[in-house]
Amino acid sequence: MNIILLGPPGAGKGTQAAKLVAERDMIQLSTGDMLREARTSGTEMGQKVAAVMDRGELVTDEIVIGLIREKLEGDAKGGFIFDGFPRTLAQADALEALLDEMGMSLDAAIELRVRDEILVDRIVNRAKEAAAAGQPVRADDNEESLKIRLMEYYKKTSPLLGYYHAKQKLKRVDGLQEVPVVSASIAALLDA
């Protein structure tokens, strides 16, 4: 199965992706991880990524699609989880074209639905818990940064909900439930 996890920052996408990797042998394709990996790889694509990042610019969709293509050409195992991509309608179209070209398809776009005020509490508490445990706190784990990230999400990424709904791929899960309940809800969708 190939799926996309959608939802605002702090919705639990990373947590749920890790569970799917462990339980279903899926491969998580996190664009952030792929960019960091490519940057240090020494490959031609990696050198492109490093040059763009060193200039402080955003990596183009074309480069990200190239990185995804490289990953899709490997062992598919239990399928792929797209995490952090697509973020825009143009990226969604590019991903669909790539999957089609490779004889693959997207099975579902799963939205983890959460309310903003709960997200703010969740992120602020995550930062407090990390600090109390002596763990590093993400620089953007604070109320002000989260509000900026949420605005960015609603402007650019939320149109994907309509896009995947129109393609009859959108599935919704209540992301405010306990982690095992959210996992069970996702599993039920994938097994249906």
Q: Give the model confidence (pLDDT) of 28-66 as tens digits.
A: 998 878 888 888 888 888 888 888 888 888 888 998 998
Marked catalytic residue, from 19, 39, 87, 171: 87
pLDDT value of position 19: 95
Which residues are 27's β-sheet partners?
A: 80
Helix (H) or strand (E) holding 35: helix 31-39
Cis peptide before 136 (omega within 30 of 0): no
**Residue 26 CB partners (closer than 8 Å, separation 6+):** 1, 3, 20, 77, 78, 79, 80, 81
Question: Taking a C-beta distance cutoff of 8 angstroms, is the pair 107, 78 a contact?
Answer: no
Active site residue 55: no
Instruction: Give 26's pLDDT tier (boundaries 50, 70, 90).
Output: very high
**pLDDT tens digit sequence for 127-141:** 898 889 999 887 777
14: tokens are: 């990373």
Contacts 24+ apart (CB under 8 A), 32-41: 32/84, 34/64, 34/67, 34/68, 34/71, 35/59, 35/64, 35/67, 38/67
Burial label for 172, CB within 10 Å (0-12, 13-18, 19+), is middle
pLDDT category at 83 given cuts 50, 70, 90 is confident
Is the pLDDT higher at 137 or at 89? 89
Q: 175 with 115: CB under 8 angstroms?
A: no
Report pLDDT for 9.
82
pLDDT value at 96 more than 80: yes
Kindly state the tokens that stand for 171: 């599935």
- Exactly one of 13, 39, 122, 171 is catalytic; name it: 13
The pTM assigned to this predicted structure is: 0.83
For residue 70 the two structure tokens come to 């490289």
24 is catalytic: no
Confidence of residue 172 (pLDDT cuts 50, 70, 90): very high
Given 77, 115, 138, 155, which residue is catalytic?
138
Q: For residue 27, what pLDDT band results from cuts at 50, 70 and 90?
A: very high
* Sign of the dihedral through C-alpha 184, 185, 186, 187: positive
- Of residues 71, 126, 156, 169, which has the active-site annotation? 126
pLDDT per position as a tens digit, 98-121: 999 999 999 999 999 998 888 888
pLDDT of residue 36: 85
Q: Chain-wide mean pLDDT for the chain?
A: 90
